Each structure stands twice: as C-alpha cells, then as structure tokens.
Structure 1
C-alpha cells in the first residue's frame, strides 16, 4: 500500500512560498556574454578554461517574471517614451525603473544670463537670447544594443531581450577592471621599496602646508571642498598606512603645489629647507601615490584633482609642450567621468554637492589647459563649444553640503569662490567667441552660440562690472585679484577680436582700430603691473606669473615702431616701463632666449622713436628701461648688427610672424652655462641655445 504524497495537501500559500524559494537562475559568465558564445554556466566555465581567461560569473537573478499583459506592456512603453522626452529636456523626474545604462543627453548650451543669474526669481535681462530648444543627444551604445527589436511582435514575450543576453556597461567595466595591467606609462613602475609614509612631512608641517594651500592656492582654483577635505586629512594623519590611496595622492599634490606657491625665501623661512628639495620630495611622493591609486584608469574625483594639482606644481620646471600632453591625459580622464556633460549631473545621477564640485574641477582644468595651449602653440585647447557644463555658482564652501538635496543658490554678493565664478564666465564667453575660435578651430564657429546679450566683449564686460565688480573692494586681496586679472583678460579679448578682424587680407589698415588695439594692450600691461606690485596680491604672485603678457608687449612694440609719435605712444612707453620693473626684468640676463627677442624689439621701437624726434629737431628723454636694455647689450658684447647675424632671428624683422613654438626647441648638444648667464651660448650654426627649464621658469611663468 503506497503512502500518499506528503505535499498533496499543502495550502496554496505554502506552494507559493516553495516556488519563491527556487534557486536563482545561473547566467552566462561575462566573458561568454561578450563573445556571444554558449556558456556551460559553471564556475569557471569550459570556454574560459580553454581560452585561459579569468571567468567572471554574471550576477544571479531570480526566476523569470511573469509575462506582461499587452495592456501593461503598452503602458510601460509609453512611460519610457515620456521619460525620454523629460530626459532630453533636462527636466527632473523619478524614473519608473533605475537603469544604469540609461542614455545621457547632451542639451544645447543655455544662455549666459540663464545659467549665471544670481537670483532665479529676477526677470531675465532684455539682452538675453532665447533658450535653444534643439537637443543633441549622446546615446549609449550598450543601451541601444539591448533594446527589443521593433520588428518583433510586441505581444510575443519570446521576442524580449532576456536579462541573460543583455550586455551592461557596468559589466564591461567590471571585466576590464579584472585585468592585471601595467599603469606605469607616465611615471614609471611603482617603486615597492619606497615607503610613502616616510615622504610625508610631520603633522605640524602637514597642517602648515594645508594652511598655505588654503591661503594661496585654493581661492584661485577651488577644486576641493575645504571643510570635508580638512576632516579627511585629520583622520588620515592618525594612521597614514590605512589612508585611501586617492586621498594620499591628493595630500602629496597639496604639499607640492603649496611649496610651489612660495618664494624660495618664504619656503626656507617656513620649513628651514630649500624649496627645490621639498618640491622634488613631494612631487616624487605624488607620483608614487598616483601610481598606487592607478590614476590612468581612475574614476575618482580626488585622484583627478591630485593629478591636476601635481601638474600645476610642475609648470615652472617642465617643457611646455610636455605639460600640454600631460594635461591631455587629465582632460581625457575628466571626459570619461562625464564632468563636461551637464546632463550627467541631472535626474539624480549626482548630488548637488558632487555636481558643483565636478563643475569646478572641469572649469579649472579647461582654463589651465587653455593657457598652456596658448603658450605652446595656440592649438588643441578644449575651451570650445562642444560641451555644455554650466558656469560656476558664486557660493561659499559652507553653502555646499554632501547631504543637500537642492543645488545652492548663486549669491549676489562676493563669496570665497568669486574668482573661479567670474573666470568661468570669461571662459564661457571665450569658448563661444568667433574671434577666439579663429585661432583654435574655425569650424566650431558654426555651432557656437552667443553667451550673453549680443555676444560682444562689451556685453560681457558690462555684465561682470554690474553683477560682480561693483560689490567688490580693492582692499580685499581676493577681490583685487579678481578685478585686475579679469580686466586683463577682457583687454586680451578685445585684442584677440582685433587680430581676428584685421588679419584678413580683405581688411584695410585702420589707424583708429590700431590705436584702440594698442590701448587695450597697454591696459593689459597696466593690470598685470598692478597685480605684481600690490602687497595685497603678493600671495597670489605664483598665479600671476603664469600670465606674462608677451603678446601685448610685442603688439605694442610693433605698433610703436610703425607709429612712433602716435596718440597713445607716450602712455605706451610709460606702461611698458612699469611692467618691465614689475616683472623683474632689470635682473634678467640679456642672453635669455625670450628676453633677447623682447629686448631686441624694445631697442628697435626706441630707435624708431629717436629717429622720429630727430626729424622734428628734438631728442626724447631716455627711459630707465632703455638704459637697462642697452647696457645689457654692451655687457654681452653685441651690437645691433652682430645680434642679427649671430642670433639669426629672422622673425624679429616681421614681429607679426613671431611664433612662440619656435622658441621652444630644446638644445641638442650643449647646455646653457648657468655659472655665467651673461655670456651667451651658441651652437655651431650661430643660433642661441635655449634651456627649457630657464625658458619656462624665468619667462613664461615669472
């Protein structure tokens, strides 16, 4: 007599519970999914064993969901369609289903007023342009690949793409991260014998360096959130061996850039150690820490900030084109993190706190990159209209909190981030300005938009004066730095506009336009002199040194040679004399490569002025600058004819053909004799040999 089935009398609830406890389905491993081959679903699978690959099991899933009814399917499809429209127009919403592979849209650039108005409730400026409704969407290839084909029957569940067959971007990244690879492409192999703890300063010096960073560097770049980072540093110093590698790299980069911001005398007084020694020590520590953090494939903002600060600390001792290449690596990492795409911060993808810090890092990177590219060859800058990151909010760090749910409101008064906020406005204008794009890539002019009002430099200048500068005080160091640096950049924009307009063959020489351009160039020199001579901005001198106004010098000298008795000639010589002194050129050697170019041009322009005065029967009073230039020429034993013959600087005759990149050709045979800088070194062809460290450190940066 057989016994009845013990499960025959189970209740429906018990049956449902038994069903729900079924073992989850085992999916194909990631490698087999990528290669689109059948997997035996073992761990490791036969295919991976045969191919000698690391078998990565796919995440397990529960039993298949029940087939949706046609009505339910239609509703889901309609919801997805509406979500897509909301996402395209950058409207916040709560999605029906969080999908890591969701498409990230790239919206058109908002207008200058709409993204930067301090008070959202105020009516927009009459000069504001209409918001563009055109949306250019960047699609995700993996998301598109996983969509159900529209040729299949929508009511047939068998036509759905199963979770097993779907290839997710997160899985692809996970597969790549599983490989053991060599990340020593830039800094060499991580030295396992180097103990990073021994390279850290003691705790007192750590906080002294942090204080220097906060006083001198942070106000001008604002790439860290000081309150939260300070807490992290305090926690890390209790046991540096357990600190996060990204934080360790960031700490070393802060040490490096803090020491870099000091003068040699200030460094010796503060740490009783030479600046050269500390810079080498902390930069080496930063290299090792970046290797430890695997920086080439990082997605950590702290790690990218560490790389950026490290590059800033390098700029006075690095070939400018090498630095430009290294910055390209940092820009590519930032793009991989989608820092340049505004939609990557929307719809809950980032908190308002992370979004603003991401924008700060992106703007700081691209403005630094723009300056480096300008010095190197005026090519390759990413300050162009192909991305849509918003300009920065004018807020204090204490207005930013990790737990905040709404973005901070840009303040109508000066804050600790006023410098970076104003600079982002200027950079936003530059990347949309047709005149500037003429020198980067003219093809971008077809997609550029007017960033403010009618898109003129005057409109930008008026906006900044009315919304920022009138609330500032020149007694405040950061406010003074913001005003004079920005006004110098505005003058530079006017000058660039002139260059773009009057370099066209169809444009006739315009005396009034040339005098206006000379006035803008001398304004730039005046602003630069004020920055370098004011005791208030002394602590920001390391930054101002990066903006030697070489183009303005050369344009003014070229114009003075053509029109030695022009209306603005007298003021131009006064402005140049003040800047000559402010830049410390009285102490510079005559045989320095760029100073040879500059002083030769000064001498030629003054000779033209002397000749013009002689023609009217008088003699001009000789400025101290001219006396210094000619004295150095005599000491070097070179007269004008010997200079032309031995230097072979053909571009000195036609200054408009002068190319900065030509002066960056490193010496191949002999080094410049640093023990006797007053004696020029020449190669066999009679050309002056150039030492790159001297060029970068002494001229472009100081």
Structure 2
C-alpha cells in the first residue's frame, strides 16, 4: 500500500507501507496418540503370542518359527531367562481368550451332613462336618493378616545337621510324589544357603521352611523325637510359623517368583492333615492358583520361547497346583475348584531329574518306561482324562470304551514296567487301580441321581467298584511302604466306604456283602496294628467319626436281624460303646443348653479328623488325614475331580444315597435314589 508524506522541503514522498494481517492457520494433521498406539501394539503382540509367534525373533530380524516348531529353534543363542521373562506370558497373557468349563455343580454342605446324620430325627449327629471343621483351631487368618512377632526368622531354622536330615527326609518321603522342582538344583542351593543363613535370599528362605514343614508332616512322633529330640507338634508349629513369616517377608500376594510359589505349595501340602480349617485352606489354594495364572503357568512354556528346563519346572508346579486346588475344593464344600477354564500347560515329561539341567537348550527325549515321575504322571493323566470325560456327551458304553482305552494306555506306558516290590511303584499301581475304579463310577452317577430305580447291574457295579477301592487301599496299608504312609492315610477312598455301608443296610445275604464286611474288619485290624493306641488321643469327640460309626451300626443291625446269632465283630462293639457315649453326652449338653464344639488345640490329631476318625484307631502321632479329606476332597478321583454336573460325586451325591426322612423304599433294594433307607 502506498502513502504520501510531506517532507521538510514541502515535497511529497511516496512510501510503500506493508500492512501485516493474520493469515488463517493451516490445519495440522492430528497426531495419533502414542499411548493408544503402544496399547494396540501390545495387544497385537499378545494375540500373536497366543498363536505361537516369537515376537523377540521378529523384532531382532531373526528367523520366525511357526507354531509347533522346536523350542530350541525359537530360542536365540545367548538369550537368558531374564530376557524370556519379558515375553507376554510372564505378564500373565491377560488378553488370551479362555474357554470356560461348563456344568459346574454347586454342591451343598448340608446334603452330606444330612447323609451322615442318617435321619432328620437323630439330632445327636446333626451337622457333623461343620461341627468338626469348627473344632479346628486355626482358620489361617494369621497367613493373610500377619501379626509381627519378636521372634527372628533366622532363629526358627534348625541347626545345619538337622537341615540336611530334613532335606533327606523330604527327598525320601515327599519328593517322589510331590514333584515341583529339580531336586539336584535345589540341593545345591540349600547347601549354599545353610552355610550362611544371615544372607539367605527371601525366596530361598520360603522354600526351605516349606521343605521343613512337609518333611515333618511325613514323620511319626517317635521319628521326630529320635531324629530331632523334640515332639512332632512342637516342630510342626515352629516350621509352619516360619513358612508364614517368610511368605509375609517375601511379599507373597504380589510375587511373581517361582521359588516363593513352590514354598507356598509345599506349605499347603503340609496342611492337608487338617491343622487348618479346609474352608480356609481353600482360600489359600485359590491364592496359589491366582499367582500361577499371573505368572502364566497355565500356558505351556514351549509355545512361548521358554527354555526346556524352565518349561518343565513350570509344568510340574502348575499341575501340582491344579491337583491341590481340586482336592481342597472338594473337602471344603466348595464343590468346584476356582479353576474355571481350560489351561494349555502340557503334562510334565516322563524324565528323571538327572536328564534335566538349567542351561539345556533342547528338551530331553521322553523315557520309555518308569521314571521318578511315574506316580505324578499317573495322577496327572487321570486328572486330564477326567476333564475330558466329564464334558463328553457320549452314551455310557462309549465312555466305558474310552476308559478301557485309557486304562490300556496307562498299562502300556507305565504300569507294565512297575515292580510292586519297589515302594513308589507299589504306591503307583494300587492308587491307580483306586482311581480307575472311581473313573468307572463317575459316568454312572447321573443314572443314580436322575432315576429312583437302579437296575441290578448298576447296583452290582457300584458295589463292586466300591469294594475294589477298599481292597486295594487295604493292600497299600499292608505293604512295606512306610515312607509313603503319610500319603496313603490322606487318600482313603471315603466314598467307597459310605457306598458300601449304605448298601449293606439292604444287601445282607449274598457273597459280595460278606466280602464287604471282611474288608471293613481288615481295615479295623490294620489300623489297630499300625497305630499306637493312646487313650488321650482317642477321637471320641469327632462329630464325623460318630456319624459314620452310627451309619455302620445301622447297616450291622440290618445284617444281625437277617442272620440271628451272628458273631459281633470288635469294630461293632467299639462303635456301639462310642455312639452310646456320644448320645449320652449330647443329651446332657442339650438339657443344659451348653453344648460347645470340642476345641482342637493341636490340629487334625486331636479332633481325630484322620484316616481313623470313623474307625476309632489311633494316629500314631502322624497327624495325617485319611478322611473325609480324601473322600469328599477326592470325590471321583483321588485328588482329580472337579464337581461337575453328572460327574462329580460331591455332597449332593451322598444326599441322593441316603434319605433324610428315615423311611425305606418299598422294594427293599439298595441304591434306589431318594427315600430308600430306614433311619
């Protein structure tokens, strides 16, 4: 723009003037939010990992392996465990889709309690399970709500010589059937840690106390006094307290450390003898499950670039957590485990510890025949088959054929190589037979529940399977496998005993009934042989013991009426004395309205919540369950089943077996559904 200005000389000058105006701003391209982009990339990586893609190999420009290729090809040289821990599986694979298990049965506590009561009018035996649980002193509150103590954790460790004794006890009694780590590696770590307890790592301290606790749980009072110069109960309280203190110190609830989780699992195993209320223990096993899920143990490491050694240890730990959670779910009354989806973790490999080492790059070949893993693998195989069987909609004859094929697989893969003279092999053989019998019983459960009349073949089958379980368990009790005795007595086939006792109220005159009573008498005599009877530890106040004894007396009364003059066995004489005393005590307490549940100061031993809780035999100081624990806890399988519709033999099952109104069905036949038996 041009403007005129008058100069001092009177002349006008033209001056160009630039007028600056604000131009319209050019629209800037909207930036993609960086956080959103990273989030999307992470989700894509997670989904790719779920399909087996190796993100590290892609990022580094290496060769990308397809799913199913060898783990060693996906693992680059020089990669470390720490580098692998950056994979999404170590973050828990949060975005993976889970396939829910269907048909979970909400089993009820009161059903079994009514079954054990035998009659709604017999209040002496009302709510025996709840009353027995209530008598257990510990509810595990100290585990979650830790109270600081003046006692130093280091002072709870035993002397070095005793550490080695406990470790050797663990190797002999626990490790063959609870395989959750590589024993040679842990042994080296224990040797190093025990030499300098002042500088022991938090995670190693948790594991060592877990080893102490389980080792003590496998010993008798006499063995504890001979080996350590102290009572078993004193040692149990010390090392259990040490585990809890070490777990608190290690930050259990936010840990992602495998060693800490291993220590927790061992502690939970040591609690299977009911020193902790099963309802509380179920909450603690749920914590183990959640920690394992957060660590990605539920996904097989071979699909996510983990080294073979780490993959194998994760498999062992995860399957033990699965089995433990299912067992405790049953006995606690939850009916179903907190594991509500399918996992992809493969079975542990059939290899000895000597075939594994931390730095191995290639998985060892599977061994043909029996290895150190034989018992664990048979247990895992049974669990896996049950999971498949319970979701099957095939007819009964198809399920039976599938089970026959499964039994043939077990025989060809493991059992044909077992030598019954070897303790671990004998345990594997007879416990597997018990599990197979329970698997055969499982698909017949819907027929029992959904029809009021069972045909003779089904009745005979159920009776025969129950008898088979008891006879095989008696064989274990008679065997020379005392180092696993702690495990045998927490795995009594309780459902089989109840099935037989119920059926024997109407099945009186045939040969199978005679064999059943012979098996009961053998159980009674075996317990009298193996348990050192101590008057002060008799299970007089156990509600469950009294209820089952009462059930046995009802069955014997029916037999006695049909066969006058029959000799009364010692077991029945003892049961009559104790039931009479129980009723008298209840009547006295009821009249005073002051009855209170017996208090269990020492845990499972004092409440007689043991394998002898209903046979009234002593516990030899072992403090082990054999039990309702392995009965309700084991249901269909010894530690395998989940309570599912049509398959779980939980507390609803027992409600169906025994009527609550005390009236007998018209045909006088056993196993006819509701309202079958007289009170």
TM-score by length of 2: 0.66
1:221: Cα distance to partner?
Answer: 0.8
Distance in 2 separating the partners of 1:493 and 1:141: 35
In structure 1, the partner of 2:470 is 525
In structure 2, the partner of 1:608 is 558
Distance in 2 separating the partners of 1:554 and 1:647: 28
Structure 1 residue 275 corresponds to structure 2 residue 219: no
Distance in 2 separating the partners of 1:280 and 1:358: 30
Structure 1 residue 424 corresponds to structure 2 residue 369: no
Segments of 4+ moved more than 6 angstroms: 83-86, 91-94, 452-455, 642-648, 693-696
Describe the superposition over 1:241-271 as per-residue Cα deviations: whole angstroms up to 9, x where unpaired: 2221101110111111111110111111110
In structure 1, the partner of 2:427 is 481
Describe the superposition over 1:642-673 as per-residue Cα deviations: whole angstroms up to 9, x where unpaired: 7998999xxxxxxxxxxxxxxxxxx9945359
Structure 1 residue 374 corresponds to structure 2 residue 330: yes
Structure 1 residue 515 corresponds to structure 2 residue 460: yes
Structure 1 residue 97 corresponds to structure 2 residue 97: no
Structure 1 residue 294 corresponds to structure 2 residue 251: yes
Describe the superposition over 1:527-572 as per-residue Cα deviations: whole angstroms up to 9, x where unpaired: 221222222x211111122223221111101111122223411111
Task: State the SS of the aligned residue for 2:241.
Answer: helix
In structure 2, the partner of 1:671 is 598
Distance in 2 separating the partners of 1:673 and 1:293: 30
In structure 2, the partner of 1:71 is none
Change (3 A) 1:213 1:202: same
Task: State the SS of the aligned residue for 1:393.
Answer: coil
Describe the superposition over 1:126-182 as per-residue Cα deviations: whole angstroms up to 9, x where unpaired: xxxxxxxxxxxx97559xxxxxxxxxxxxxxxxxxxxxxxxxxxxxxxxxxxxxxxx
Task: State the SS of the aligned residue for 1:561.
Answer: coil
In structure 1, the partner of 2:86 is none
Distance in 2 separating the partners of 1:476 and 1:696: 23
Change (3 A) 1:670 1:492: closer
Q: How does 1:76-475 map to 2 (within 5 A)?
A: 90=52, 95-97=57-59, 186-189=143-146, 191=148, 193-316=150-273, 317-342=275-300, 344-348=301-305, 350-377=306-333, 379-382=335-338, 386-434=342-390, 456-475=402-421
Distance in 1 separating the partners of 2:382 and 2:454: 29
Contact 2:213–2:236 under 8 Å retained in 1: yes
Distance in 1 separating the partners of 2:449 and 2:582: 38
In structure 1, the partner of 2:662 is none
Contact 1:367–1:383 under 8 Å retained in 2: no
1:627: Cα distance to partner?
Answer: 3.0
Describe the superposition over 1:290-341 as per-residue Cα deviations: whole angstroms up to 9, x where unpaired: 1121111111110001111111222321111111111111111011111111
Change (3 A) 1:311 1:396: same
Describe the superposition over 1:59-109 as per-residue Cα deviations: whole angstroms up to 9, x where unpaired: xxxxxxxxxxxxxxxxxx9xx99x99986664889732169xx9x99x9xx
If asked which structure has higher relative contact order (CA below 8 Å, sep 6+), I would say 2
Distance in 2 separating the partners of 1:701 and 1:215: 24
Distance in 1 separating the partners of 2:595 and 2:601: 17
Contact 2:491–2:626 under 8 Å retained in 1: no
Contact 1:190–1:291 under 8 Å retained in 2: no
Contact 1:413–1:468 under 8 Å retained in 2: yes
Contact 1:594–1:699 under 8 Å retained in 2: no
1:598: Cα distance to partner?
Answer: 1.3
1:595: Cα distance to partner?
Answer: 1.6
In structure 2, the partner of 1:546 is 490
Distance in 1 separating the partners of 2:380 and 2:224: 31
Change (3 A) 1:426 1:193: same
In structure 1, the partner of 2:508 is 564
Change (3 A) 1:236 1:455: farther
Task: State the SS of the aligned residue for 1:220.
Answer: coil
Task: State the SS of the aligned residue for 2:57.
Answer: coil
Contact 1:196–1:285 under 8 Å retained in 2: yes
Contact 2:553–2:576 under 8 Å retained in 1: yes
1:626: Cα distance to partner?
Answer: 2.2
Describe the superposition over 1:387-424 as per-residue Cα deviations: whole angstroms up to 9, x where unpaired: 22211211100111111112222211211111111111
Contact 2:261–2:288 under 8 Å retained in 1: yes
| Root-mean-square deviation over aligned CA pairs | 4.1
Describe the superposition over 1:621-642 as per-residue Cα deviations: whole angstroms up to 9, x where unpaired: 33332233234445x275xxx7
In structure 1, the partner of 2:438 is 492
Task: State the SS of the aligned residue for 1:219.
Answer: coil
Contact 1:396–1:416 under 8 Å retained in 2: yes
In structure 1, the partner of 2:569 is 623
Contact 2:492–2:626 under 8 Å retained in 1: no
Change (3 A) 1:454 1:97: farther
Change (3 A) 1:538 1:600: same
Distance in 2 separating the partners of 1:673 and 1:139: 43
Stretch deviating more after TM superposition (401-410 or 214-223): 401-410
Describe the superposition over 1:257-292 as per-residue Cα deviations: whole angstroms up to 9, x where unpaired: 111110111111110111111111111111111112
Distance in 1 separating the partners of 2:251 and 2:55: 36
Distance in 1 separating the partners of 2:476 and 2:487: 10
Change (3 A) 1:637 1:261: closer
Change (3 A) 1:280 1:480: same
**Length, aligned pairs only:** 498
Distance in 2 separating the partners of 1:208 and 1:637: 43
